Amino acid sequence: MNQYARHERPDFTPALRLALECHFQFELPSPTPMIARLWTHQSRLSDLETPDQLRTDPPVPLQAFHDEFGNFCSRLVAPAGCFGIEIAAVVRDSGQPDPPHPDYAGTPVEDLPETVLGYLLGSRYCDTDLMAPIAWSRFGTRRSGQALVQEICDYVQAQIRFDYVQARATRTASQAHAEGVGVCRDYAHLAITLCRCMNVPARYCTGYLTEIGSPTPEAPGDFAAWIEVWLEGGWRLFDPRNNVPRIGRVLVARGRDAADVAMIHSFGLHRLTNFRVRAEPLA
Q: Which residues contact 170 (CB under 8 A, 6 or more apart)?
A: none
Per-residue pLDDT reduced to its tens digit, 224-271: 999 999 999 999 999 999 999 999 999 999 999 999 999 999 999 999
Pairing of strands 161-162, 181-182: parallel
Q: Would you state the pLDDT for residue 6?
A: 53
Statement: residue 117 has pLDDT above 80: yes
Residue 100 burial by CB count (10 A; 0-12/13-18/19+): exposed, middle or buried?
Answer: exposed
Q: Is the pLDDT confidence value at 28 over 90?
A: yes
Percent of the chain at pLDDT > 70 equals 93
More confident residue, 42 or 143: 42
Please measure the distance between the N-terminal and C-terminal CA atoms of the chain and give it in whole angstroms.
28
What is the length of the chain? 283
Residues 6+ apart with CB under 8 A from 65: 73, 74, 75
Closest by CA to 14, choosing from 69, 94, 76, is: 94
Digit-coded pLDDT (tens) for 45-97: 999 998 888 999 999 999 999 999 999 999 999 999 999 999 999 999 999 99
Q: What's the confidence (pLDDT) of residue 53?
A: 86
Query: What's the sign of the alpha-carbon dihedral 235, 238, 244, 249?
Result: negative
Q: What's the pLDDT band for 216 if we cut at 50, 70, 90?
A: low
Q: What is the 3-state secondary structure (H, E, C) of 229-270?
A: EEECCEEEEECCCCCCCCCCEEEEEEECCHHHCCCEEECCCC
Closest CA to 159 of 143, 144, 176: 176
Report the pLDDT value the prediction gives residue 10, as an integer from 0 to 100: 46
Domains defined along the chain, listed by start? 2-95+263-281 (2.60.40.2250), 109-247 (3.10.620.30)
- Beta carbons of 69 and 255 less than 8 angstroms apart: yes
Residue 47, helix vs strand vs coil = helix
Q: So what's the pLDDT on residue 236?
A: 97
Distances (CA, A) of 79 to 65, 115, 217: 21, 39, 36
pTM of the model: 0.92
Strands (E), the chain: 2-5, 16-28, 32-36, 48-57, 63-66, 72-78, 81-93, 161-162, 181-182, 202-209, 224-231, 234-238, 249-255, 264-266, 271-281
**Statement: residue 220 has pLDDT above 60:** no
Query: Taking a C-beta distance cutoff of 8 angstroms, is the pair 281, 212 a contact?
Result: yes
